[in-house]
Structure 1
Amino acid sequence: MSPAEKEAVEAFRRDVVEPSMTSLVLIDFWAEWCGPCKALSPLLDKIAAAYADKGVVLAKIDTDKNQFIAAQFQIRSIPTVYAMFQGQLVADLTNARTESQLRALLDQLLKQLPIQSSAADAEAELEPLIAMGEQVLGEGDGERALGIFTQLAEMAPENVAVLSGLLRALVATQQFDDAEALLADLPEEAAGAPEIERARSALALARTARPVDDLSALAAEVAANPDDLDKRFELAGGQMAAGDRDAAAETLLGIVAADREWNEGAARQQLLKLFEVVGLEDPWVSQQRRKLSAILFG
């Protein structure tokens, strides 16, 4: 190994291998004459900056100036982008040429690897606070939940679990316009998250679940005329607005059993929204889904 090659190896160890002991290092093999490299470079810079607090760093290797290093990695075409963690290559990101593709791959890697980062530490601190907010929200105390999630949003304004909780707390306190405005302002990557979809379903459900002044009178009316599915659907809405999900689910299941295609499947669609709002992993949802399946396929 020549002195120049030894110097290149030492520089690679210092700039790439050592940082990879605690961070996820993106290695961009490029060259000055390479057009696609120049097109990809700004995107990698943007991604590295966005993920810096999550423990991602970017290292650029000019293959013309570092031919020995490029040969060790058997680089045959550029741009080539690898991800390294603890001195080992963990992914080939070369085929990811869009921001969404790179983000998806990085998010997957970061979930699998024990990366040390300020974001991970902050998330660990947030978890019990989010759980507390979710518990309060589940107990029906919307005002208190709103206070908790408002404070959490000041601490972590981009955390989708926090934003979801805040949105559902706004819905629980019937601040629908504020929830709509918050949803409209969300960045694209957050807007499509499952947690946000859950909150969006909560808002849609609340918009259609109209409070009823006298639920007992309406229930008696439905009992006297069970074939009036419009009234039964109105009753389900009133039950949901009152926070009685058990009664609402029973009423909606009754509509599906009577006529699963009524009003273009409105009762079934409302049930699915309710399931998403409660949480698809919740035991209550599993129980209700079994009832729905028994009606549809029994």
Structure 2
Amino acid sequence: MTTEITSETFPQLVLEKSKTNPVLVDFWADWCAPCKMLMPLLENIVSEYAGKIDLTKVNTDEEQQLASSFNIRSLPTVKLFKNGEVADEFMGVLPEVAIRDFVEKHVDRPGDTSIREAKKLAENGKINEAIQTIQTALKHDPGYDKLHLILAEYQLDAEYLEDARSTFGNFPKHLRDDSAAQSILARIELSEIAGENTDLCALEAYMINNPKDFIKKAQLGAVYFSAGNYSAAMEQWLQMVLIGDKDAKEIGRENLVRTFGILGNHHEEVPAYRRRLAQALN
């Protein structure tokens, strides 16, 4: 439920209330079409927090002095109040994922307790219990993106590849294009290339005698990656780009790009391999 705020009610319903609960204030106007797009998104997201955050709105045409006191220059503008002060804000209609990220910085959802419990279980080697904890939390909070992502990550860590693929397939549509989700998809794809219970030593020996079997070379890189030997994995795929035929070059490039996405630009070896890939493609 969204509470309409006036200059008279603002001190009590926003400033005072924000000392116990974060309060979102949506500055809007009836003539503002983007404002009407944003409000349903805010209402849907706030409803998932079980009363841990309040949603209010200020009609800037009717409350011009209040809007002016907060330097509202464009609509919609959303300000988040904590402890009687503005703690954060954004302007315009952001994608739903971005709004969720904005809110999650300031409010715990019920599923966050389960995430902390699962993390402790995983750190103590109880990965199956961690998975069960997240699965239970998802039943109670199926709209929480973070739970979907963490479940797939734990399933990959436990080498439950089919389960991870199924979890990814059940991601909400808006989540699948998120960078974190794409990183999980890349891990799934590399794990599928590696195959289950692949004998690394046998595969290495095979490649010594068959250096231009690029399908096996791609697999060897994926096995290295699964074992955490990222430089060896990237070297295999880079060699495919350098000496392979058209199809092999593309497979090598795709696997390198997947790896860059998973490891991130801050990984110590990624920048060098990015440069080497660019040179190989030119």
CA distance in 1, matches of 2:157, 2:219: 19
Q: Equivalent pairs: percent with the same residue?
A: 14
1:11 has 2:13 as partner: no
Q: Is 1:57 matched up with 2:54? A: yes
Aligned pair in 2 of structure 1 residues 296, 49: CA closer, same or farther (>3 Å)?
closer
Q: 2:79 aligned with 1:83, yes or no? A: yes
Q: Does the 8 Å contact 2:237/2:256 carry over to 1?
A: yes
Residues 239 and 248 of structure 1 are in contact (CA less than 8 Å); yes or no, is this contact kept in structure 2?
Answer: yes
2: CA distance, partners of 1:239 / 1:296? 22
Q: Which has the larger radius of gyration?
A: 1
Q: Which residue of 2 aligns with 1:3?
A: none
**Superimposed CA distance per residue, residues 41-74 of structure 1 (whole angstroms, 9 cap, x where no aligned partner):** 585255134225285423244568xx5x423434
Is the Cα contact below 8 Å between 1:130 and 1:162 reproduced in 2?
no
C-alpha separation in 1, matches of 2:220 and 2:80: 58
In the alignment, residue 11 of structure 2 is paired with which amino acid? R
In the TM superposition, 1:102-181 aligns within 5 A as 104-105=98-99, 107-108=101-102, 111=105, 115=106, 117-119=107-109, 123=112, 126-127=115-116, 129-130=118-119, 133=122, 144-155=126-137, 157=141, 158-171=143-156, 175-181=160-166
Counterpart contact for 1:211–1:237, Cα < 8 Å? no
Counterpart of 1:4? none
Q: Is the 8 A contact 1:160 1:195 kept in 2?
A: no
Displacement of 1:187 in angstroms is 1.7
* CA distance in 1 between partners of 2:12 and 2:73 (Å): 25
**Secondary structure at the counterpart of residue 186 of structure 1:** coil
Residue 57 of structure 1 aligns with an amino acid whose one-letter code is D
User: Shift in Å at residue 173 of structure 1?
Assistant: 5.2
When you count helix as a share of all residues, which structure comes out higher? 1
Q: Is the 8 A contact 1:164 1:198 kept in 2?
A: no
CA distance change for structure 1 residues 257 and 58 in 2, over 3 Å: closer, same or farther?
Answer: same
Instruction: Flag as ranges the 4+ runs of structure 1 deviating above 6 A.
Output: 75-79
Partner AA of 1:154 in structure 2:
T
CA contact (8 A) 1:152 1:162 kept: yes
Does residue 1:48 correspond to 2:43, yes or no?
A: yes
Q: Could you tell me how far 1:289 is from its partner in structure 2?
A: 4.7
Q: Deviations over 1:110-152 (max 9, x none)?
A: 63xxx4x442x8637734743763x57xxxx7xx524312313
Residue aligning to 2:176? 191
Q: 2:190 aligned with 1:205, yes or no?
A: yes
Query: How big is the shift at 1:198?
Result: 1.8
- What is the rounded CA distance, in whole Å, between the counterparts of 1:250 and 1:76 in structure 2? 53
What residue is the counterpart of 2:211 in the other structure?
226
TM-score (norm 1): 0.65
1:80 deviates by: 5.3
1:101/1:218 Cα in 2 relative to 1: closer, same or farther (>3 Å)?
closer
Secondary structure at the residue paired with 1:197? Answer: helix
Q: Distance in 2 between matches of 1:11 and 1:201?
A: 50
Match of 1:5 in 2: none
The amino acid of 2:55's aligned partner reads L
Task: Assess, with a 3 A threshold, how the Cα gap between structure 1 residues 267 and 146 changes in structure 2: closer, same or farther.
Answer: farther
Return the TM-score normalized by structure 2. Answer: 0.67
- 1:26 and 2:18 correspond: no
Mark the runs of 5 or more structure 1 residues left unpaired by the alignment. 1-7
Distance 1:198 1:56, change over 3 A: same
